[in-house]
Amino acid sequence: MKRLLITGAGGNLGRIARARLGHLAEILRLSDIAGMGPAGPGEEVIPCDLGDRAAVADLVAGCDGILHLGGVSVERPWDEIQNANITGVYNLYEAARAHGMPRIFFASSNHTIGFYEQDQVLDVTDPMRPDGLYGVSKCFGEGLARLYHDKFGQESALIRIGSCFEKPRDRRMLATWMSPDDFVRLVECVFRVPMLGCPVIWGVSDNDEGWWNTETARLIGWRPQDNAEDFRAEIEAAAPRPAPDAPESRFQGGKFCAEPIHQG
Amino acid sequence: MKRLLITGAGGNLGRIARARLGHLAEILRLSDIAGMGPAGPGEEVIPCDLGDRAAVADLVAGCDGILHLGGVSVERPWDEIQNANITGVYNLYEAARAHGMPRIFFASSNHTIGFYEQDQVLDVTDPMRPDGLYGVSKCFGEGLARLYHDKFGQESALIRIGSCFEKPRDRRMLATWMSPDDFVRLVECVFRVPMLGCPVIWGVSDNDEGWWNTETARLIGWRPQDNAEDFRAEIEAAAPRPAPDAPESRFQGGKFCAEPIHQG
Amino acid sequence: MKRLLITGAGGNLGRIARARLGHLAEILRLSDIAGMGPAGPGEEVIPCDLGDRAAVADLVAGCDGILHLGGVSVERPWDEIQNANITGVYNLYEAARAHGMPRIFFASSNHTIGFYEQDQVLDVTDPMRPDGLYGVSKCFGEGLARLYHDKFGQESALIRIGSCFEKPRDRRMLATWMSPDDFVRLVECVFRVPMLGCPVIWGVSDNDEGWWNTETARLIGWRPQDNAEDFRAEIEAAAPRPAPDAPESRFQGGKFCAEPIHQG
Amino acid sequence: MKRLLITGAGGNLGRIARARLGHLAEILRLSDIAGMGPAGPGEEVIPCDLGDRAAVADLVAGCDGILHLGGVSVERPWDEIQNANITGVYNLYEAARAHGMPRIFFASSNHTIGFYEQDQVLDVTDPMRPDGLYGVSKCFGEGLARLYHDKFGQESALIRIGSCFEKPRDRRMLATWMSPDDFVRLVECVFRVPMLGCPVIWGVSDNDEGWWNTETARLIGWRPQDNAEDFRAEIEAAAPRPAPDAPESRFQGGKFCAEPIHQG
Amino acid sequence: MKRLLITGAGGNLGRIARARLGHLAEILRLSDIAGMGPAGPGEEVIPCDLGDRAAVADLVAGCDGILHLGGVSVERPWDEIQNANITGVYNLYEAARAHGMPRIFFASSNHTIGFYEQDQVLDVTDPMRPDGLYGVSKCFGEGLARLYHDKFGQESALIRIGSCFEKPRDRRMLATWMSPDDFVRLVECVFRVPMLGCPVIWGVSDNDEGWWNTETARLIGWRPQDNAEDFRAEIEAAAPRPAPDAPESRFQGGKFCAEPIHQG
Amino acid sequence: MKRLLITGAGGNLGRIARARLGHLAEILRLSDIAGMGPAGPGEEVIPCDLGDRAAVADLVAGCDGILHLGGVSVERPWDEIQNANITGVYNLYEAARAHGMPRIFFASSNHTIGFYEQDQVLDVTDPMRPDGLYGVSKCFGEGLARLYHDKFGQESALIRIGSCFEKPRDRRMLATWMSPDDFVRLVECVFRVPMLGCPVIWGVSDNDEGWWNTETARLIGWRPQDNAEDFRAEIEAAAPRPAPDAPESRFQGGKFCAEPIHQG
């Protein structure tokens, strides 16, 4: 690719992508609301509010691929979520449509299905059960991406990201963790496979424990290699086991299921 | 019920409900942006923009049931759809939560799955494939309703309405038509069944032709009785058969599949 | 048939069968622990404890068909359930095996799946979720019947009976009711169809409201004709609607789900 | 339609079609190897061996629809089946492709799945289990029709015909019978529906007894109205019940399952 | 855990557990009818007949977890199976309910589905097809465990054990073998995972050959590591291949499918 | 085995089999239309046209196993495909039936399902969608094999071969490649497993990228070990990426989907 746009470049996943995915394109165009620091070699830094239609259009122009990590990624008041994750996603897909339909990696979330219990194995075709406004906004995004695929041929990878950190941080992440290395390989696969279409794929490492049938990862040739199990002793030593009926123990979405509706 | 709120009371479905469902409650509270005329006996008329949070809260207060027919029901520019069908639905569910969680009939749409072809039989659990921004907004609504059920116990009937008019108006409606009589019985069933939960139900008459497995209608005891087939001769005489590869012939969502993204 | 054995002949279903199914065989052999009155023309009356192996063997000898309605049919202390529904069913199938394998109508129950919620549609292949010891005993019976089919070719109809009374008695029975007329036709179908095998069939009338996919009824040519809906007004007038989170409103098994484990 | 081709016009189904479907087109072009008698008004009579490529091409030229009932319809030596049902079907689809792709009603058969037992309910998507060379030839035909749909857009209705006679003739036909009236309505539906695609549909009346989930009939608006049950008494009086392990009692394909491979 | 109860401690699996799972609890409470030898350090030895309700209640009191390996594990006369596997399991679950509901590892069996043929891949949700009275007793146990989960919140792992020995002993075990090492890791996983629920899991090593979709093993983070394939040469050298239509070759339950009903 | 027949011995797969599978039998009987060279030690070389019934009968006589790789394996004119892949397969199964029903490895093909898009994961039970006459001929072969299993007990492995070459040759083969080593192990597994039945198995290596749920490979204990990913750099360097809407990029069957019907 000549130019790859990374939204949310100042966030957790965005910083990983910035540091390690430069080889995917001649230029990385980095965007976030703030906090990205100066551009390095081969980088363009363009602050942008996803809710600003015109700004998003300018941002997307000239890009051959979009790694869409931007927006709100936790439970927040509705107006914030709506601006970034609903208006923002609409703006992004309209911009892509206007500018040659570059392939999009859409960071969806396990919180689209967070209200399933932890003793069930899910397929990507199971009906959604979001665990908060954030999760609902990601259901919206998956629906919009599917529309743009069916109507215009826009390709998107709908990646339901588990928990991507250096290491798993609590017991639930022993099941939901995706290592940064696996994330990097995942992005490479999305932009490499000849035919992408619009598949849904669980963004999770090859953890011993898990709730998701990861069969669709092979559609893009992604084979995760890390395993949260390596951190079990550390995790279990760090904190007592939560009660069995705590949301963290019971639901796939964990604590999100117990979050209130945040007021602005 | 003491008071049943009908949103979209000035629209097509709303007028039917107003005229024929007065027996469901002592008072019908009617709302729309405009165009409802004066209140009759047993009626309250309250104009309201669904995008206005405070107004929606006032509207819902004191109601024991909500027949939510309001919002945009065709393909329109994004801002209109977002205001009424996304912000508006969030406002409605928040208002319901604040006011005793009255049962909600949520008018969803076949346009949540409009991009399936007409030679497939769909279950309510099949993944959504919306055919426009309107359809995506209804996907959002179904997701939000499910969230409020899983998190707070809010009951909703998610009715994927086909085409509700006096008579079917074109060949596609021979499959998608729901008669006003069947609609009236459907609303009665939703507010009568002891346990509702949050089921998805196809809102379609007992047409000879059809694409949807209507098994879930029995969850609420609804058995549609009308049949678009009675109007076939009339329909076929009125207009030539569309080409087999026209969107109207090919996709379940019909012409919506060929609509552009409307610009404001 | 020359001789049809009816177990549980003194019970609710047994009395219906005795009165109305005499045409199925030259002789009805009626059995129960007690309470059957004297034999009429074409009848044999043989009291029997199903837990008594030798007595059951004698009972079955010479019969060409078995309508097994006997045993405990409500939540009771374990020892009672085990004697009649576990030991008793084993005794019955062993007796049938020893005596020419007459076809068996096995009265199973909706309480094998009572813990599913009322907003789900079940197939007969869905995993069982019994709602009490009684329900577990019926799971056992279905398993034993399947074994005798796979191992020895014994034919059984596994009929998951809903609620069979003259009329539905409460709101839940608007979904679960099977009319006596439909029951009579059902028994006729089981003993008439050339090939029975070992199918599971929901024993429920053609009620508007319902939770079960009744497709397998056609395997034996049974088409229920009655509809609990005819009694709705009467039912709704008789008692207030139960709370939405009462077991009767929430679970398919109704009040059984809230029964304790009975102590002897 | 201007001209509808009926192959197999001299056979059982063909005679029904000839007598009762003249209203579908200005001209019925009738074809068979022999035995059709002279052409009546609005008829063309063209004898043809389906295995003769050039003759089939001529036969199809100028037709707007094809009701393909021709070929072998029972178990016969391989060479006969191959000539008419394999070579012949290839010839027919090639001819259709060369001549404007008229819509095709393809008479497939329940013998594509005849080895399933009679206590199972089948969907049209279940894997095929043919019960003889005839059944395998129909599996071939369904595959070829699907290919011509996916590759060229050719529309076909793949109708798995049960047993079409004036009345059911044995006990198995109580489940598999399709009345001539229902057959006539079925053909009308196939040629009337705007979008056909390439669906598989069970060709069976609304019999009380049956083994097939007939949901897909609604794709074309066909609602069978007759019921083999009306003939049960007659059937049961005419012949003793076959043994429970006879192929007629055990398999959906009945006696075909016990046919040998016929030698030429 | 402070105290882990191991039933069936004198049996094959029990001896493995006793020798290798001491680290799971401060005290191992070992129970069997007989044959356990004296208590070692950190052990309590308590002989017990599972059919004795009071004794089982005493046995369970004070335990934080139960590894239920006890009962009959082969085809035996009904009375033996009923006493240990039906009465006994009821006693165990009642005792657990009375004593704080310690988590239960329930040793179920592949003989719950033994009558499926060896060319099918099974999911844990497929309907049960037991291959003997022993298998039926395990169907009962799974049903009872599910009831206690749905009604009381009791957690159980329902482990359908294949064949657990030092090495596979015949050709069928090349598919069904679970190594002692994998068994030990499996028990650890069951008692370690924060949320268990009531899942069904195949108890089988990572054998090349196999018939079961082992996806649910990840629910508890269990990843088997051994492979019966390592023993193929040895097995094949030891005995001739059984005939293809021998039960051992044909059914998943192997020879159990050919066992008679044992008489007492 | 005493004698293993390899058809298509002069072709690509046949040469691999000849060179590396001699240990499976005392004698390899090699057959093709031509091009096999002289017989080596332990070999018999018998040229044969599969369309010649008598010749095929002679060929099969005396063999204990058949590795059926013969016939046409690309898109060719109908008469060629019919002679080798339809007449030829009928001849082969009839010959096997006449000569003790030796187990058959039937080389089916991914072209039976070639018209599915590359963003779908297929099970072996999904309906077939052939991508050409060659694919349809393989659908026929799978159907015929199933018939001979259900009717006569003939065992066959229906192996849907992807692309078997020394190395993958284009981007699509990164998903469909089966290495010669994996092919050799696959044949060993087919002839080694005690109970084969008639399963369908994807013939594909353990590639990172892929579209097929390979669960059924374990039915015969086959665990592929090679991975096309090792050749990605080489493949990507060799040729530019095909357009995203090229058949090679879009359909599982690749270029076959764009092949015309070849004329003789």
Give me the mean pLDDT over the B148-163 stretch: 98
The C-alpha of E224 sits at a distance from chain A's nearest C-alpha, in angstroms, of: 10
Q: Is E194 close to A242, i.e. CB distance below 8 A?
A: yes
Give me the mean pLDDT over the D3-32 stretch: 97
Q: CA of F134, closest CA in chain A: separation in Å?
A: 24
Of the residues F93, F116, F134, F148, only one is catalytic, namely F134
Pick the residue from chain C with its C-alpha nearest to B157. C119
- Number of Cβ within 10 Å of residue A26's Cβ equals 12
Catalytic pick among D90, D93, D116, D134: D134
DSSP state of D239: S
| Mean pLDDT (chain E, rounded) | 96
Q: Which residue has the higher pLDDT, A35 or B138?
A: B138
Contact C218 D210 (CB under 8 A): yes
C166 to chain B nearest CA, in Å?
Answer: 20
User: For residue F218, which residues of chain E lie inside 8 Å, CB to CB?
Assistant: 121, 207-211
List C-alpha distances in Å: D149 to F119, F121, F212: 20, 21, 23
Rg (CA), chain C: 18
Classify the phi-psi angles of F94: left when phi > 0, otherwise alpha if psi is within -120 to 50, otherwise beta: alpha
As a whole number, mean pLDDT of residues F67-84 equals 97
Shortest distance between the Cα of A131 and any Cα of chain E, in A, equals: 18
Report pLDDT for F264.
76
Q: Which of B155, B214, B218, B223 would you mutate first to test chain C, the one with the most C CBs within 10 A?
A: B218
Q: Which CATH class is domain D3-258?
A: alpha beta
Structure tokens at D61: 């030229």
| Per-residue pLDDT reduced to its tens digit, A202-251 | 999 999 999 999 999 999 999 999 999 999 999 999 988 888 889 999 99
What is the pLDDT, as a whole number, of residue A136? 98
> What does the domain layout of chain D look like in residue ranges?
3-258
> Which residues does chain D have within 8 Å of residue C196's beta carbon, measured at their own beta carbons?
119, 244
CA distance D148 to chain B (A): 16
Q: What confidence category does residue C64 fall into, taking pLDDT thresholds of 50, 70 and 90?
A: very high
Quote the CA–CA distance of F187 and F180 in Å, as a whole number. 11
Taking 70 as the pLDDT cut, the residues of chain E under it are none
For residue F153, the chain E residues in CB contact (below 8 A) are 245
C246 burial level (CB within 10 Å; 0-12, 13-18, 19+): middle
Cα gap B231→B108, rounded to integer Å: 25
Give the CA-trace dihedral at C241, C247, C253, C259, to 10 degrees.
Answer: -120
- How many Cα atoms are found within 13 Å in the side-chain-facing hemisphere of E17? 32
Torsional sign, CA D115, D120, D121, D124: negative
CA within 13 Å, CB half, E165: 12
Provide the number of CB pairs (under 8 Å) joining chain E to chain F. Answer: 51
Average pLDDT, chain C: 96
Chain D CA closest to residue B233: D192
Mean pLDDT of B129-134: 98
Mean pLDDT score, F202-229: 97
In this complex, which of F208, F242, F249 lies closest to A218 when CB atoms are compared?
F208
CB pairs under 8 A between D and F: 87
**What is the rounded average pLDDT of the residues A110-120?**
97
Q: Is F177 helix (H, G, I), strand (E, B) or coil?
A: strand
- Confidence category of residue F27, pLDDT binned at 50, 70, 90: very high
The answer to whether B245 and B252 are in contact (CB under 8 A) is: no
Q: With a cut of 80, say whether residue C264 has pLDDT above it.
A: no
Q: What is the pLDDT of residue A157?
A: 98
**CA atoms of C213 and C124, how far apart (whole Å):** 8
pLDDT digits (tens, 9 = 90+) for B210-225: 999 999 999 999 999 9
Angle subtended at Cα A174 by Cα A169 and Cα A176, rounded to the nearest 5 degrees: 90
Each residue's pLDDT tens digit, D196-239: 999 999 999 999 999 999 999 999 999 999 999 999 999 999 98
Distance CA E171, CA E242 (A): 9
> Helical H runs in chain A?
12-20, 53-60, 78-81, 88-98, 133-152, 173-176, 180-192, 232-238, 247-250
Across the interface, whether the CB atoms of B151 and A257 are under 8 A apart is answered yes
Of C193, C195, C199, nearest to D250 by CB-CB distance is C195
Nearest by CB to residue E223, choosing from A118, A208, A245, is A208
- From residue F86, how far is each of B156, D81, D194 by CA, in Å? 56, 12, 35
pLDDT of residue E99: 98
pLDDT value at residue D243:
86
Residue D201 Cα distances to B131, B233, D196, E83, angstroms: 27, 24, 12, 52
What single-letter DSSP state applies at residue B123? P
The reply to whether residue A150 touches residue B128, judged by beta carbons under 8 angstroms, is no
Chains E and A touch (3+ CB pairs under 8 A): yes
Task: Please list every residue in chain E whose beta carbon sits closer than 8 Å to the beta carbon of residue A175.
Answer: 221
Nearest chain A CA: its distance from F209 CA (Å): 3
Q: Is the pLDDT of residue A143 over 90?
A: yes
Which of the pair, D170 or C194, is modelled with greater confidence? D170
Of the candidates A219, A221, A222, the beta carbon closest to that of F119 is on A219
pLDDT of residue A73: 95
- Please state the ipTM of this predicted complex: 0.97
* Chain C residues close to B194, C-beta within 8 Å: 171-172, 241-242, 244, 248-249
Q: Which of D121, D229, D244 is opposite residue C221, by nearest beta carbon?
A: D229
Chain D residues close to C197, C-beta within 8 Å: 117-119
**What does the pLDDT look like over D126-175, one tens digit per residue?**
999 999 999 999 999 999 999 999 999 999 999 999 999 999 999 999 99
Instruction: Please judge whether E198 and A117 are an interchain contact, meaning their C-beta atoms are less than 8 angstroms apart.
Output: no
Interface residues of chain C, partner chain D, Cβ below 8 Å: 153, 155, 193-199, 215-216, 218-223
Q: Tell how strand D177-178 and strand D200-203 pair up.
A: unpaired
As beta bridge partners, residue D250 has: none
Measure D94 CA to nearest chain F CA, in Å: 9
Chain B residues with CB under 8 Å of D220 CB are: 209
Please answer yes or no on whether E194 and A207 come within 8 Å at the CB atom: no
Angle, vertex CA C259, rays to CA C256 and CA C262, nearest 5: 125
Read off φ and ψ for residue F170, nearest 5 degrees. -155, 180
CB neighbour class for E120 (10 Å; exposed up to 12, middle 13-18, buried from 19): middle
The pLDDT of residue D94 is 98
Per DSSP, D117 falls in state: B
Whether C119 and B199 lie within 8 Å, measured CB to CB:
yes
Residue of F nearest to A197 (CA): F119
The verdict on a CB contact (< 8 Å) between C195 and D244 is: yes
Q: What is the DSSP letter of B83?
A: I
**Helix spans in chain B (H):** 12-20, 53-60, 78-81, 88-98, 133-152, 173-176, 180-192, 232-238, 247-250
- Mean pLDDT, rounded, for C50-59: 98
Give the C-alpha separation, B237 to B178, whole Å.
21
Amino acid identity for residue E166 in this structure: E
For tokens 């299905």, name the residue.
A113
Q: What's the token pair of residue E162?
A: 């294949």
Look at residue A8 in the predicted model and tell me its pLDDT: 98
Structure tokens at D206: 């609304």
Smallest Cα distance from E81 to chain A, Å: 30
Question: Touching C: which chains, 3+ CB pairs < 8 A?
Answer: B, D, E
Instruction: Assess whether pLDDT exceeds 90 at residue B91.
Output: yes
Q: Note the pLDDT of residue E239.
A: 82
CB B121 to CB D195 under 8 A?
no
pTM for this structure? 0.95
Q: Is D93 a catalytic residue?
A: no
Which residue is closest to A207 within chain E, CA to CA?
A: E221
Determine, for residues E147 and C126 on separate chains, whether the beta-carbon distance falls below 8 Å. Answer: no
- Give percent of chain D above pLDDT 70: 100
Nearest beta carbon to residue A136 from set B94, B129, B143: B143
CB distance C221–D242 less than 8 Å? Answer: no
Partners of chain A (3+ Cβ pairs below 8 A) = B, E, F
- The tokens for B97 are 């939560």
Give pLDDT tens digits for A156-212. Answer: 999 999 999 999 999 999 999 999 999 999 999 999 998 999 999 999 999 999 999
Nearest by CB to residue B129, choosing from A78, A135, A146, is: A146
Q: Is C9 helix (H, G, I), strand (E, B) or coil?
A: coil
Residues above pLDDT 90, as percent of chain A = 95
